Copies of this chain bind each other. A is one copy, B any other.
Amino acid sequence: MKPMDSEVLREQGHIMVDFIADYYKNLEDSPQDFPVLSQVQPGYLRDMLPDSAPDHPEPLKELLDDVSKKIIPGLTHWQSPSYFAYYASSTSVAGFLGEMLSAGLSVVGFTWLTSPAATELEVIVLDWLAKLLQLPDNFLSTGNGGGVIQGTGCEAVLVVVLAARDRIMKKVGKTSLSQLVVYASDQTHSSFRKACLIGGIHEENIRLLKTDSSTNYGMPPKSVEEAISSDLAEGFIPFFICATVGTTSSAAVDPLVPLGKIAKNYGIWMHVDAAYAGNACICPEFRKYIDGVENADSININAHKWLFANQTCSPLWVKVGTLINALKTNPEYLEYKVSKRNEVVNYKDWQISLSRRFRSLKLWMVLRLYGAENLRNFIRDHVNLARHFEDYVAQDAHFEVVTTRYFSLVCFRLVPVDGDEDKCNERNRELLATVNSTGQIFISHTVLSGKFILRFAVGAPLTEEKHVTEAWRIIQKHASKFIHKKKY
């Protein structure tokens, strides 16, 4: 037995392709066999598997049987057409093929030298994507900036917080760490707070500014400006604003134009977290939501969320060389003449990890195998499906749409009866648990201004109108038991 044999790979690879194609076929044709939200109980798997690794090889067939019988029941099916929770993590045929090819070639592109194609394709493809997003030239490699594929938005925000921290510390001295202050809204992704704490920013210096329905949960620039002034007056050092386009909670949009001006005025790094909604900005009609990005220092989207690029693929663009100062390493064993040349990018200095997979391959494949127009249409289809769902909600007096919908997320709830908000929250919570326990659909929730809100997010690659209609039918059906009680 050998770890690699091209003919074994061929034979078993074909078996695996059929296994995966069958999975997608069954996910569509026999939804009853695949509860979208897994219904297993904690600890279910331990009883089904042995206590230790086998000493001797087991056949692939046996393993795939175990996947079918033991693993698949424990999956929450993110690629199910009836998956409407959180935000989707959208795969696609092209994204899948790209992952396969990357796993097959299995190169490690930490420096240019260790696979020039891996680095150069990433530079080029991120320029392509920057152009689709109409990012300003100084985010492109041809404009002295450039992109890098991080694993996730969490990694992206961490590296820019670190770069901004080290930039300001160079000016003010490292003993000032405890005075550094950052700004974001209370809707900002939890990874921002985590990134700040990782970087040693004091928790009480993380200003998460209050939002409410008056701005549809977008960050009020006035609050930011006031907070900065007050912090400066008290001797704090403001250095970072994290603005979000499409928050995780309700797809709220922070106003980049005024925020960017504030950042520029005060010399503060502004990062744009557009993990979900940034993908939609390849469509001209959605591009307006990142107007103002020209005053940002960095912007990130998760192409595995809504650009069909399969996990993990989180492009981050920055202006000239800003990450390298904070993230550079120079071990002797990686030194090579060419690595020191200016025209060469060494991506190890743009991220946390040294090693990195050949992720640009799948992004390149997605862009080429679909083309920009189809990608825009995939996104528009999802937005239209969300609009469709929103219409259903709006037509039912027992429900309300809670926030203005910009993209493919609808925030809605059962309306309160006799103004009883507590009871209303409880009923919505109960409705959520009930519909998810059917296994027929999976939706998620959030809380906005104390209200328990249901979230219906369209983004899975198999979702069609019939799935949305059916989802609404299921929600209505299970809501009826509360509604018919009249008062609740």
Taking a contact as CB atoms closer than 8 A, the residue among B58, B378, B447 that contacts A369 in the complex is B58
A21-B7, A71-B121, A354-B152 known; A332 vs B447 contact (CB < 8 Å): yes
B-contacting residues, A5-36, CB 8 Å: 5-10, 12-14, 16-25, 28
Give A332 to B107 CA distance when docked, in angstroms.
Answer: 39
A58-B369, A96-B13 known; A117 vs B75 contact (CB < 8 Å): yes
Taking a contact as CB atoms closer than 8 A, the residue among B75, B112, B333, B446 that contacts A446 in the complex is B333
A330 part of interface (Cβ distance < 8 Å):
yes
Report A48 CB to chain B, min CB distance, Å. 9
Report A63 CB to chain B, min CB distance, Å. 6
Q: Is A371 in contact with B53, judged by CB distance below 8 angstroms?
A: yes
Residues from chain B with a CB closer than 8 A to the CB of A118 are 74-75
> Would you give 15 A-B contacts (Cβ < 8 Å), ordered by A?
A6-B28, A9-B24, A12-B97, A57-B371, A63-B365, A71-B121, A76-B107, A78-B108, A86-B334, A89-B106, A96-B106, A177-B177, A304-B355, A333-B445, A352-B352
A298 part of interface (Cβ distance < 8 Å):
no
Residue interface bits A41-77, CB-to-B below 8 A is 1, else 0: 0111110010111111110100100010011111111
The number of chain A residues touching the other chain, given as a range, is 35 or more
Residues from chain B with a CB closer than 8 A to the CB of A76 are 107, 113-116
> Copy number in this complex?
2
Residue interface bits A104-148, CB-to-B below 8 A is 1, else 0: 111110001111111011001101110110000000000000000
Residues from chain B with a CB closer than 8 A to the CB of A396 are none
Report A129 CB to chain B, min CB distance, Å. 7
Residues from chain B with a CB closer than 8 A to the CB of A394 are none
B-contacting residues, A435-457, CB 8 Å: 444-447, 455
Stretch at the interface among A198-206, A215-223, A228-236, A477-485: A198-206
A311 part of interface (Cβ distance < 8 Å):
yes
Give A358 to B362 CA distance when docked, in angstroms.
Answer: 18
A331 part of interface (Cβ distance < 8 Å):
yes
Residue interface bits A350-369, CB-to-B below 8 A is 1, else 0: 00111101000100010111
Taking a contact as CB atoms closer than 8 A, the residue among B13, B113, B312, B461 that contacts A20 in the complex is B13
Report A198 CB to chain B, min CB distance, Å. 6
Residues from chain B with a CB closer than 8 A to the CB of A361 are 71
Q: Is B4 in contact with A91, judged by CB distance below 8 angstroms?
A: yes
